[in-house]
């Protein structure tokens, strides 16, 4: 196990470095200057000379006038010391911004992934057992219908229905913890997005395993269907589903930009959205680094789970 994990990390390190180099390069060659964008808020209060002088001082402060390799090596050196830099637009420590916001998105993403799993796997099994019936079509078609609606459309529609029409809740606003009523709707919307993927993946995997000889033998022995599903079908059928769930979990954690904006949640998505909108290089690099680490760790965890589901899969 230890050797396997080290090999996986050894492969992941070059990938992580490549992601950082590509992202850093794209930010440097971008035609948009974050300092000039920041100075637009002072239009009318500073004359041209004062504005140009302020831009030069800020660019010198952040080293944006240096060559590409000087900027990159300086940033890598600070990164190795745990310093992600200072946000150009908000003048805040980037590491502190991520440390404060990431746990919020982690809780929401994990809760959404759990609900997706608890709903998606049983629905996929039911659809497979009732293949080509109205139940199968309803489950698959119904979940796909939700996926076709973008988050920025689905969220306002649900707010209109549950807040204005049915008057079942107040407008969910802000963040007071995971176990508060206001997070029910954001978590539900997070779970709906990847739900059809899990349903279809589970359905296809169960149908494939259902035709195996050992499943037919178990049926001929007179075992109850629920025992066959739990003991013989799900364990093998869940291998491709676990892969899908791994990427879904990572995506829910780092990809909640629209939800953070709609529900005013101070999560990781809000930090990422502000960084990309303002071309804030330190924030963009910090967000990219965390996202890359999440993807690498997700792949590693999924690989380690495989042998637990199927002992025939060895780690070495």
Residue 295 — pLDDT band, cuts 50, 70, 90?
Answer: confident
Q: 5 vs 289, which has greater pLDDT?
A: 289
Per residue in 26-81, pLDDT (tens digit) is 877 877 777 776 666 666 566 666 777 877 887 777 777 788 888 888 888 888 88
- In angstroms, the CA 262 to CA 69 distance is 39
Does residue 316 have a pLDDT over 70?
no
Does residue 140 have a pLDDT over 70?
yes
Per residue in 75-127, pLDDT (tens digit) is 888 888 888 888 877 778 898 999 999 899 888 888 888 898 899 989 998 99
Residue 25 — pLDDT band, cuts 50, 70, 90?
Answer: confident
What pLDDT was estimated at residue 135? 93
- In angstroms, the CA 198 to CA 38 distance is 43
Q: Tokens 């495989």 appear where?
A: 306
What pLDDT was estimated at residue 314? 57
What is the chain's mean pLDDT, rounded? 81
What pLDDT was estimated at residue 134? 92
Residue 136 — pLDDT band, cuts 50, 70, 90?
Answer: very high
Does residue 1 have a pLDDT over 70?
no
Q: What is the dihedral of CA 101, 104, 109, 112, to 10 degrees?
A: -150
Residue 309 — pLDDT band, cuts 50, 70, 90?
Answer: low
Q: 217 vs 42, which has greater pLDDT?
A: 217
Domains and CATH numbers, the chain: 2-80 (no CATH), 101-309 (1.10.3720.10)
Does residue 311 have a pLDDT over 70?
no
């Amino acid at each position: 196990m230890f050797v396997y994990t080290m090999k996986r990390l050894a492969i992941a390190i070059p990938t992580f470095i490549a992601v950082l180099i590509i992202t850093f390069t794209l930010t440097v060659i971008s035609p948009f200057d974050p300092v000039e964008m920041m100075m637009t808020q002072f239009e009318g209060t500073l004359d041209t000379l004062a504005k140009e002088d302020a831009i030069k001082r800020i660019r010198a402060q952040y080293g944006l006038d240096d060559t590409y390799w000087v900027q990159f090596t300086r940033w890598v050196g600070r990164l190795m010391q745990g310093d992600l830099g200072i946000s150009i637009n908000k003048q805040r420590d980037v590491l502190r911004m991520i440390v404060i916001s990431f746990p919020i998105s982690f809780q929401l993403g994990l809760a959404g992934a759990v609900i997706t799993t608890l709903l998606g796997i049983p629905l996929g099994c039911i659809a497979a057992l009732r293949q080509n019936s109205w139940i199968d079509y309803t489950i698959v078609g119904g979940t796909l219908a939700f996926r076709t609606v973008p988050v920025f459309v689905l969220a306002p529609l649900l707010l209109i229905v549950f807040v204005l029409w049915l008057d079942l809740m107040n407008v969910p606003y802000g963040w007071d913890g995971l176990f508060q009523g206001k997070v029910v709707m954001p978590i539900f919307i997070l779970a709906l997005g990847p739900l059809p993927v899990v349903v279809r993946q589970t359905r296809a995997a169960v149908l494939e395993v259902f035709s195996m000889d050992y499943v037919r033998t178990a049926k001929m022995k007179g075992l109850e269907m629920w025992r066959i599903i739990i003991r013989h079908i799900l364990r093998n059928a869940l291998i491709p589903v676990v892969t899908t769930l791994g990427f879904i979990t990572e995506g829910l954690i780092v990809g909640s930009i629209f939800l953070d904006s709609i529900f005013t949640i101070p999560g990781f998505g809000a930090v990422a959205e502000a960084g990309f909108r303002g071309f804030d290089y330190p924030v963009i690099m910090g967000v990219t680094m965390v996202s890359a680490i999440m993807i690498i760790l997700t792949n590693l965890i999924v690989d380690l789970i495989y042998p637990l589901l199927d002992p025939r899969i060895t780690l070495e």
